[in-house]
Amino acid sequence: RKPSVQDFKRQHMDPDSPPNSRPTYCNQMMKRRGMTKGSCKRVNTFLHESWATVKAICSQRQMTCKTSSRNNCHKSSSTLHITDCRLKGSSKYPNCDYTTTNSQKHIIIACEGNPLVPVHFDASV
Ligand code: T3P
């Protein structure tokens, strides 16, 4: 299935939570946003920034994506407040157990369409 802006928002946007997530944030949010069905998604980043801020990255510096050879990635000119969720090695499906790590980093996202919108989270740097 083609990556979509709706999937990007569901998996990565959380503008209304404070930037410093509680330790239980990832276990709750990964489930609530449908990333623990069928299997536990291993790594996922949530962005505590407005949609306007994230969408605007599609007009910032274009580059080759880090996790593919595609050239439709864009790197944020500023750092963003993010939370990384990483599946613990001891986690056993269906009990998807995550570490929650807050940080402020530049992000790299893939954009598609006209006008360009985010469709895939590539990396944080
Ligand atoms: P999606 O393409 O649905 O945005 O790379 C595989 C998935 O892992 C991809 O999902 C993005 C996600 N991911 C993060 O959310 N944060 C990260 O830091 C990395 C490396 C991957």
CA of 31 to the centre of ligand 1 (A): 16
- Cβ of 120 below 6 Å from ligand 1: yes
- Cβ of 5 below 6 Å from ligand 1: no
Say how far apart CA 98 and CA 45 lie, in whole Å. Answer: 12
For the CA of 42, the closest atom of ligand 1 is: 8
Say how far apart CA 92 and CA 12 lie, in whole Å. Answer: 23
ipTM, 2 decimals? 0.95
Residue 78 near residue 106 (C-beta atoms within 8 A) = yes
CA atoms within 13 A on the CB side of 30: 29
Mean model confidence pLDDT for the chain = 97
Identify the three-state secondary structure at position 119.
strand
pTM of full prediction above 0.90? yes
Identify the three-state secondary structure at position 13.
strand
CA of 115 to the centre of ligand 1 (A): 22
Inform me whether the pLDDT recorded for 9 exceeds 80. yes
Say how far apart CA 4 and CA 102 lie, in whole Å. Answer: 26
- Cβ of 76 below 6 Å from ligand 1: no
- Cβ of 13 below 6 Å from ligand 1: no
CA of 114 to the centre of ligand 1 (A): 23
User: Tens of pLDDT along 51-108?
Assistant: 999 999 999 999 999 999 999 999 999 999 999 999 999 999 999 999 999 999 999 9
Residue 30 near residue 96 (C-beta atoms within 8 A) = yes
As annotated, the active-site residues are 12, 120
